[in-house]
Amino acid sequence: MQFSLFNPTRIIFGENTIEQIGGAIAEGGYERVLLVAGGGSIKQNGVYDTVISSLADANIERVECWGVRPNPVLGKVGEAIEIARVNNVQAVLAVGGGSVIDTAKAVAAGVFLDDIWQAFEWKVPITQALPIFTVLTLSATGSEMNGNAVLTNEQENKKWGIGNRLLYPKVSIVDPSVQKTLPWDQTVNGALDAIAHILEFYFHGTNEETTIAIDEALIKTIIDSVDKLQVDGLDVDSRANLAWAATLALNGIGGAGMRGGEWACHDIEHSISCLYPEIAHGAGLGIVFPAWMLFTHEANPKQFARFARNIWDCDDIEKAIFKMRTKIESWKGFVRLRDLGIAKDRLSAIAANATMIRSLGRLRVLERSDVESILNIAY
Amino acid sequence: MQFSLFNPTRIIFGENTIEQIGGAIAEGGYERVLLVAGGGSIKQNGVYDTVISSLADANIERVECWGVRPNPVLGKVGEAIEIARVNNVQAVLAVGGGSVIDTAKAVAAGVFLDDIWQAFEWKVPITQALPIFTVLTLSATGSEMNGNAVLTNEQENKKWGIGNRLLYPKVSIVDPSVQKTLPWDQTVNGALDAIAHILEFYFHGTNEETTIAIDEALIKTIIDSVDKLQVDGLDVDSRANLAWAATLALNGIGGAGMRGGEWACHDIEHSISCLYPEIAHGAGLGIVFPAWMLFTHEANPKQFARFARNIWDCDDIEKAIFKMRTKIESWKGFVRLRDLGIAKDRLSAIAANATMIRSLGRLRVLERSDVESILNIAY
């Protein structure tokens, strides 16, 4: 078990905490921010009003950039960088879900670069970034407490990621109660994304009992929370437990000692939602992961058997995968690529996109034909 | 669930990581450190040689202060502060267990104060501290990844604590393999201390499922690791799992959302090891906690029942407490105060010391007579 862990993000968690955002930014000495947001749901649920009133109380000026979409794109980042530069902002404030936060991170680094995409190509290092603050409205990606961002270059059909110490938010506010009004499918997709983050580490497990046991605790808590929210979407305790588990899934705790994890399923899904940007990342993962598990479980049979036993109370991994898909269906989630409107003859193009640069995976290395096999299982 | 979490300590974890300490300090720009250490075990197990060679490679000068005892005392802190001031050190490096780290923290703050004890009395704020680095050699207190320190004022018979954002170590190196040569009782006492930290939060649980499930994962992992180490003390995986679980127990993760937790057992134990400094803190906790549980469980019956079921596979809390004591005995740990050499007529003085300033506890508020009852149960 070898790892390094450093996570300097301050989390402020709980109901009615959003009003602290202005003070948190002012404490850092910043007076003018770029507020990055999505399609407008924060104007419906009151989050926007709370944020701007908190900014005003703390004497923080703001300029705004709206319209970040799920599966966020480079074009919008360019637009936001321009606004940030023209207005000489000192910090970036993301108010939204993972797409908004990832866009804000790309902007924070991008204002110091000629072409931020070169950093996603790993051709140019990130050596400076504006400080990032976030108000989270959808628990899923964990981006509120890590240094990662994923972006689609819509011109080149590449959905790729960056990770940098400078991109950890300074402060992230997580008020799970604002997620009460989320559409049900977004709650489910967020949970599936969080479970997928844990599984990307978990299946590499051998003897890292502390992390493995925490991962199982997180997965079971997420499943239990979604089950309870399906009965009562206003259950604030379950919103809170789901939210905190999703943060822990990808803040360093869920993966400590797991040698970086797997990430084949994420790579495959990124190609799906790159080519089909209307498909939610979490929904894609909920379909790809079980298929990958069927394809790969013999590469670490002991850990997959443990997953079957401890999560699904079942002594056969194929039965456990069936139970997992049944659970996703019970949440009204998708379990087949065909149900997402993907034409079967496009699977080959998805596999080609996913393996554009290199083969995927580590437990079992996946060439283009392997990815195509997994996509066929998932279809 | 309301909490704020901020933990800026960088953890470098794993075998053969100690040689990174010089580079980590140099990266911070520091050139002269005070090395704080205990009774000399680090000279036997090779840790000291690795540290000084790493410091030399990084061109870091050092002065040394040896002789920190378990249940560390204010007198030694004063001596170390003097050395730090005379030599104008820029940072403090603790090489040892929790006592050494807590001493280093008191020194780091104390060089800027006329009387560091006034901070432990909460009469003077800590507004500056030297940067702290640690090389951990005994997993127990979690001090390697938090801002707390506990010290005994041996003149005034007070064993009290401080907590401050400035006292988080900058970098802590945890090489669990160096704990292979620990005496068995220190391994057990460390584990009992870590379990106690988790329980101080856990028994306040209501609906904080994410944290509660993590706490159960940590407790079970610690028990399992000690069981395995009793069979094979050289089992590096179990050393690693125990070490990482002990860090997580008190770094913010084990207590997120638990409203600060209980801490009555710690307060009681601090009075025991204040008046009997030869008693290991963890050993005292292993005795006090079961007694406190017997005394208090009706204050949160649902959570104690859950503890009985999920940790001890048992539907009765009193049976679970019996199983817990049996487990401690199976590790050759102590389960009665009488076995630590405490005279029965001293229980009253311990209770008086523990309630010197105020009543203890929150689930059930403990006056002096209640503490005496618990000590009698524990006797």
pLDDT tens-place string over residues B323-351: 999 999 999 999 999 999 999 999 999 99
Q: Which residues of B touch A216 (CB under 8 A)?
A: 217
DSSP state of A150: E
Do A295 and A377 contact (CB within 8 A), yes or no?
yes
CA distance A308 to chain B (A): 17
Give the separation between CA A201 and CA A255, rounded to whole angstroms. Answer: 5
Q: Which residues of B touch A211 (CB under 8 A)?
A: 244
CA distance B130 to chain A (A): 19
A with B: how many residue pairs have Cβ under 8 Å apart?
Answer: 125
Per-residue pLDDT at A238: 98
Per-residue pLDDT at A74: 98
Q: Which residue of A has its CA nearest to B211?
A: A241
In angstroms and rounded to an integer, the radius of gyration of the C-alpha atoms of chain B is: 20
Q: Could you tell me which of A263, A308, A275 has the C-alpha nearest to residue A159? A: A275
Tokens standing for residue A33: 């921010």
Interface of A with B (CB under 8 A): 1-15, 17, 176, 207-211, 213-214, 216-218, 220-221, 224-225, 237-238, 240-241, 244-245, 248, 253, 256-257
Give the separation between CA A210 and CA B246, rounded to whole angstroms. Answer: 10
CA distance A96 to chain B (A): 20
Give the β-pairing of B171-174 and B132-136.
parallel
Model confidence at A175, in pLDDT bands (50, 70, 90)? very high
CA distance B322 to chain A (A): 25
C-beta atoms of A217 and B213 within 8 A: yes
Give the separation between CA A258 and CA A5, rounded to whole angstroms. Answer: 12
C-beta atoms of A1 and B248 within 8 A: no
DSSP state of A207: S
Element (H, E) at A6: strand A3-13
Per-residue pLDDT at B213: 98
Q: Which residue of A has its CA nearest to B220?
A: A213
Strand partners, B174: B13, B136
Per-residue pLDDT at A268: 98
Q: Which residues of A touch B2 (CB under 8 A)?
A: 13-15, 17
Q: Which residue of B has its CA nearest to A224?
A: B209
Tokens standing for residue B84: 């730090």
Give the separation between CA A96 and CA A138, rounded to whole angstroms. Answer: 7
Strand partners, B7: A7
Angle at CA A264, nearest 5°, toward A261 and A269?
A: 130
Q: Which residues of B touch A221 (CB under 8 A)?
A: 209-210, 213
**Using CB atoms, which residue from B1, B216, B245 is nearest to A240?**
B1
Q: Percent of chain A, pLDDT > 70? A: 100
Return phi, psi of residue A229, to 5°: -70, -25
For chain A, how many helices (H) and strands (E)?
Answer: 15, 8
A27: CB partners within 8 A, 6+ apart: none
CA distance A148 to chain B (A): 18
Element (H, E) at A330: helix A317-330
C-beta atoms of B210 and A224 within 8 A: no
Per-residue pLDDT at A121: 96
DSSP state of A127: -
Q: Which residues of B touch A5 (CB under 8 A)?
A: 10-11, 13
Do A51 and A80 contact (CB within 8 A), yes or no?
no
Do A119 and A162 contact (CB within 8 A), yes or no?
yes
Tokens standing for residue A64: 């705004």
**Using CB atoms, which residue from B14, B253, B257 is nearest to A2?**
B14
Per-residue pLDDT at B321: 98
Give the separation between CA B144 and CA B137, rounded to whole angstroms. Answer: 10
C-beta atoms of B244 and A221 within 8 A: no
Give the separation between CA B144 and CA B128, rounded to whole angstroms. Answer: 19
C-beta atoms of A256 and B244 within 8 A: yes
Per-residue pLDDT at A231: 98
Give the separation between CA B337 and CA B376, rounded to whole angstroms. Answer: 9
Q: Which residues of A touch B248 (CB under 8 A)?
A: 210, 214, 253
Return phi, psi of residue B153, to 5°: -85, 100
Give the separation between CA A372 and CA A311, rounded to whole angstroms. Answer: 28
Give the β-pairing of A148-153 and A158-163.
antiparallel
Helix (H, G, I), strand (E, B) or coil at B93: strand
Give the β-pairing of A132-136 and A32-37.
unpaired
Q: Provide the strand spans (E) within B74-201.
A: 91-96, 132-136, 148-153, 158-163, 171-174
Q: Which residue of B has its CA nearest to A14?
A: B2
Return phi, psi of residue A119, to 5°: -70, -35
Q: What is the pLDDT of residues A145-163, one digit of tens each?
A: 999 999 999 999 999 999 9
A237: CB partners within 8 A, 6+ apart: B1, B207, B208, B209
Give the separation between CA B104 and CA B309, rounded to whole angstroms. Answer: 40
Dihedral-angle region of residue A84 (phi above 0 means left; psi in -120 to 50 means alpha; beta otherwise): alpha
Q: What is the pLDDT of residues A100-127, one digit of tens each?
A: 999 999 999 999 999 999 999 999 999 9
- Residue in the block written with tokens 């993301």: A94
CA distance A220 to chain B (A): 9
**Using CB atoms, which residue from A176, A208, A224 is nearest to B209?**
A224
- Per-residue pLDDT 10s for chain B (379 aa) are 899 999 999 999 999 999 999 999 999 999 999 999 999 999 999 999 999 999 999 999 999 999 999 999 999 999 999 999 999 999 999 999 999 999 999 999 999 999 999 999 999 999 999 999 999 999 999 999 999 999 999 999 999 999 999 999 999 999 999 999 999 999 999 999 999 999 999 999 999 999 999 999 999 999 999 999 999 999 999 999 999 999 999 999 999 999 999 999 999 999 999 999 999 999 999 999 999 999 999 999 999 999 999 999 999 999 999 999 999 999 999 999 999 999 999 999 999 999 999 999 999 999 999 999 999 999 9
